[in-house]
Amino acid sequence: MKSLEKFTLGTGDRFGRQGRAQLAAFVRAREEGIDACPVWNKSNREHTLIGTEPASVRAEADDAVQALGWDRPYYVDADHIGLATVDRFLAPSDFFTLDVADRIGRPAAPDDVAAFVKRWETYLRPGGVEIPGLAAPLVLDAARMREAAGQFLAAMQEAGKIYRHIRDRKREPFAVEVSVDETDRPQSPADLFLILLMLAQEGVPAQTLAPKFTGRFNKGVDYAGDLAAFEREFDADLAILAFAAKELGFPPTLKLSVHSGSDKFSLYPVIGRLVRRHGAGLHLKTAGTTWLEEAIGLAEAGGSGLAVAREIYGKALPLFDDLVGPYRAVVDIDPARLPSAAALAAWTGEQLAAALRHDPACPAYNPHLRQFFHVSFKVAAKLGPRYLDALGEHAAVVARNVTGNLLDRHLRPLLGA
Ligand SMILES: [Zn+2]
């Protein structure tokens, strides 16, 4: 088992060209006293859509580490994998995100439910379980345990199967994350405790847990929801995890993982404050924000870069329903706020870059266009070598945007003094 660093930042890179520019942000952060560890994550879904193999992420990470002389830990995350998809990730990955969200709500065997309640009856205390940091004891009864088992036990049993599948095949140590974020209903702090009981029983040595939090975590834009409610929930979640790590034998580094974590500017001060107060760690997962910086960099570069950015938009717009459809739950795009392809073709590179760049204070910023570009990466993938060539040709300006985004808008606001 690998012992994860306290602060890890997932840096997805859809097209695999920005590893060095991403790592440069961590190098600079470290010079400023921000100790964050990079995790290159790419999901099976992304590999399939773009037509890449998991080994390419390992190659990218190793190349960046060597080129920049990074002498600190780093990881390659097989993101959102399951039993059916994990095998091609086994060799190149040393971090596995076991996605069991699609099993939530599936019934577990009645005997297993009964065994679960029996196994943890020590927590069925009349006055509740005292958990340091929680305002009130956590009160559990057998009915609540059975209800939770009905929701989550089959999913956590699946996590156990995936974990053992990896463990039995992989010699090198690896880190395990369990993700239940891709579901409709947020999990409460009490749900997290019950989920952790199930994972403990399954023997899954989870180091990070990615719940679905309250509020909307839209792709590439800020958090939308009740900040005070989020703060209460996150605070209680941290108390639960610290307690579970001690009581249930999880790694002491057990921490929360925030998926779709890029660009959540209003949350970073809250999260930063809470993890400091609890002395807790954090994993923040980002992916599409780097692809958006590529689009911004190409626009800013002008010439052939801008032409490719315009072409992507021109091809994406007629495919609006196909591109947005799979992401309906995680984007809020008003088509009326998108420029026509002809209008956008008349924009300068600076105009397009300013519309896409996530600077809420800039009047030109257009969150609808930004989110639409976010889901349009498949069109860039279809351009194939023409897109990749443009990235190569304008590598410096793209890299400046990629590095600046991670450093200025993520690492510093989250972990800086
Ligand atoms: Zn996720």
In a domain, 363, yes or no: yes
Ligand 1 centroid from CA 261, angstroms: 9
Ligand 1 centroid from CA 182, angstroms: 6
Ligand 1 centroid from CA 180, angstroms: 8
Domain check: are 268 and 304 in the same one? no
Ligand 1 centroid from CA 73, angstroms: 23
Q: CA separation (Å) from 247 to 261, 277, 297, 383?
A: 29, 21, 49, 52
Number of other CB atoms surrounding residue 87 within 10 Å = 14
Domain check: are 273 and 339 in the same one? no
In a domain, 401, yes or no: no
Domain check: are 263 and 146 in the same one? yes
Mean pLDDT of the chain: 96
Ligand 1 centroid from CA 183, angstroms: 10
User: CA-to-CA distance for 414 and 213, rounded, in angstroms?
Assistant: 18
Residues 337-353 have a mean pLDDT of 97
Domain check: are 318 and 337 in the same one? yes
Tokens, residue 103: 């099993």
User: CA-to-CA distance for 222 and 410, rounded, in angstroms?
Assistant: 12
Domain check: are 137 and 225 in the same one? yes
Tokens, residue 340: 């026509």
Domain check: are 144 and 48 in the same one? yes
Ligand 1 centroid from CA 363, angstroms: 31
Domain extent for 355 = 293-394
Ligand 1 centroid from CA 399, angstroms: 25
Ligand 1 centroid from CA 87, angstroms: 19
Domain end position, chosen among 240, 259, 287: 287
> What would the pLDDT profile of 13-22 be if each residue is shown by its tens digit?
999 999 999 9
For 63, counting Cβ atoms within 10 Å of its Cβ (0-12 exposed, 13-18 middle, 19+ buried), the class is middle
Domain check: are 279 and 304 in the same one? no
Q: Can you list the alpha helix ranges (DSSP code H) found in 102-141?
A: 110-119
Q: Which CATH number characterizes residue 37's domain?
A: 3.20.20.120
In degrees and rounded to multiples of 5, residue 338 shows phi and psi of -95, 135
In degrees and rounded to multiples of 5, residue 59 shows phi and psi of -65, -40
SS3 content of the chain, % helix, strand, coil (to 5): 55, 10, 35
In a domain, 415, yes or no: no
In a domain, 30, yes or no: yes
User: CA-to-CA distance for 107 and 90, rounded, in angstroms?
Assistant: 29
Ligand 1 centroid from CA 91, angstroms: 22
9 and 37 in contact (C-beta within 8 Å)? yes
In a domain, 414, yes or no: no
Domain check: are 156 and 19 in the same one? yes
Q: Beta partners for 282?
A: 7
263 and 289 in contact (C-beta within 8 Å)? yes
Ligand 1 centroid from CA 225, angstroms: 18
Domain end position, chosen among 270, 287, 304: 287
Ligand 1 centroid from CA 207, angstroms: 15
Domain check: are 245 and 387 in the same one? no
Domain check: are 222 and 369 in the same one? no
Name the residues around ion ligand 1, CB cutoff 5 A.
181, 259
**Residue 39 pLDDT grade (very low, low, confident, very high; cuts 50, 70, 90):** very high
Ligand 1 centroid from CA 259, angstroms: 5
Domain check: are 273 and 316 in the same one? no
In a domain, 92, yes or no: yes
Ligand 1 centroid from CA 81, angstroms: 10
> What would the pLDDT profile of 361-389 be if each residue is shown by its tens digit?
999 999 999 999 999 999 999 999 999 99
Ligand 1 centroid from CA 260, angstroms: 6
Ligand 1 centroid from CA 127, angstroms: 36
Degrees, nearest 5: CA angle 233-237-238: 120
In a domain, 2, yes or no: no
pTM for this structure?
A: 0.96
pLDDT of residue 89: 98
Domain end position, chosen among 287, 305, 330: 287
Ligand 1 centroid from CA 294, angstroms: 22
CA 309 to chain centre: 25
> What would the pLDDT profile of 320-341 be if each residue is shown by its tens digit?
999 999 998 899 999 999 999 9
Give DSSP secondary structure letters for 311-331: HHHHHHGGGHHHHHGGGGGG-
In a domain, 407, yes or no: no
According to DSSP, residue 250 is labeled -
pLDDT of residue 3: 85
**Residue 417 pLDDT grade (very low, low, confident, very high; cuts 50, 70, 90):** confident
51: left (phi over 0), alpha (psi -120 to 50) or beta: left
Percent of the chain with pLDDT over 90: 96
Torsion of CA 306, 308, 314, 317, to 10 degrees: -100
Ligand 1 centroid from CA 176, angstroms: 14
Domain check: are 233 and 312 in the same one? no
Q: How many domains does the chain have?
A: 2
**Residue 87 pLDDT grade (very low, low, confident, very high; cuts 50, 70, 90):** very high
Amino acid (one-letter) located at 268: Y
Q: Is the CA virtual torsion 163, 164, 170, 173 positive or negative? A: positive
Ligand 1 centroid from CA 410, angstroms: 18
pLDDT of residue 54: 98
E-strand spans in 12-170?
37-43, 75-81, 95-99
Ligand 1 centroid from CA 211, angstroms: 9
> What would the pLDDT profile of 152-182 be if each residue is shown by its tens digit?
999 999 999 999 999 999 999 999 999 999 8
Q: Using a CB cutoff of 8 Å and minimum separation of 24, what contacts does 400-404 make?
A: 400/21, 400/297, 401/293, 401/294, 401/296, 401/297, 401/300, 402/18, 402/21, 402/22, 402/25, 402/290, 402/293, 402/294, 402/297, 403/21, 403/22, 403/24, 403/25, 403/28, 404/25
Tokens, residue 237: 């979640």
Tokens, residue 378: 């498949």
Pick from 379, 319, 344, 326: nearest CA to 14: 379
Ligand 1 centroid from CA 179, angstroms: 7
